[in-house]
Structure 1
């Protein structure tokens, strides 16, 4: 009987935790400052640099300060809410560059090409921290496979050359 009670209690706690994580209302419930270390892995090796992420209200209901700080050097962007219900956002670099972004399950995704390179970014928000990730590949390094018949299509693969990851704690 004691084991059954403990099992039910455990499942209840897990369910409560899961429910709380899924009820985050982006971006309002993730506002704040996040800090930690960014780990960068590429062909040259690995390095760790200090990183911060700030997301703050502005005077506009649909715009938020979206600041990424690498090694004490800030990049001041604006997060623009285009269609909150559909999870459609933009990251405005405030220089004419606007990147589309998609929110799904508390994770903000963006995928873009610049100067012959593909970048994929993923920011996963929880109540206490942010998991940050950027994947990088050069388009010139694409590999071609398949395409040997009508049933097997031609596929282009892009080897990932750089991975940037951080777990940033909400301050």
Structure 2
């Protein structure tokens, strides 16, 4: 009986976001049409006093952006990132990766945070919606497809601090 309860507690502890709590640091590499830039970056994921809310802080070049990660349905991997200014972004957690896809001011952004044992692989893809390219649509069997050329890629491998 005791071993069953220990296993049950262990499984809960090993679920996201509890298994990813911590402070991660490294360099963000920004590759765009303007060239390549590197800036220091941090990501903080920490508990709050609320059971289903976590501090979700992105720090770029020493400037923090304080957000809140909200569990909506942990079992289905449904979360939200609340920017604490009226903007709330839906996110999806699958296989240790937190995904988000959104449009703002004529731009599409896709974010991907891949949590590993001691690292976080962070990635944002950016494109302008006005740069849409159209192909296909030549017949009923071939649908029209809209593509969006990516203009900026932001990538970082952040190491979890002890």
Structure 2 length normalisation: TM-score?
Answer: 0.91
The answer on 1:32 being equivalent to 2:19 is: no
After TM superposition, the runs of 4+ consecutive aligned structure 1 residues lying more than 2 A away are: none
The answer on 1:154 being equivalent to 2:141 is: no
Tell me the distance in 2 between the aligned counterparts of 1:88 and 1:24.
17
Do the aligned partners of 1:49 and 1:70 also contact (CA within 8 Å) in 2?
Answer: yes
RMSD: 0.9
1:67 counterpart residue number: 57
Instruction: Give the 3-state SS of the residue equivalent to 1:110 in structure 2.
Output: strand
Instruction: Give the 3-state SS of the residue equivalent to 1:85 in structure 2.
Output: helix
The structure number with the bigger radius of gyration is 1
Structure 1 length normalisation: TM-score?
Answer: 0.86
Instruction: Give the counterpart of 2:74 among 67, 81, 84.
Output: 84
Query: For 1:50-109, what per-residue CA distance to the aligned partner results, in whole angstroms no more than 9, with x for missing partners?
Result: 000000000001000000000001000000000000000000000000000000000000
Tell me the distance in 1 between the aligned counterparts of 2:59 and 2:106.
24
Tell me the distance in 1 between the aligned counterparts of 2:29 and 2:96.
22
User: 1:45-60 to 2 correspondence within 5 Å?
Assistant: 45-60=35-50
Instruction: Give the counterpart of 1:127 among 98, 105, 117.
Output: 117
Return the structure number with greater helix share: 1
Instruction: Give the counterpart of 1:141 among 131, 140, 146.
Output: 131
| Structure 1 spans left out of the alignment, 5+ residues | 1-22
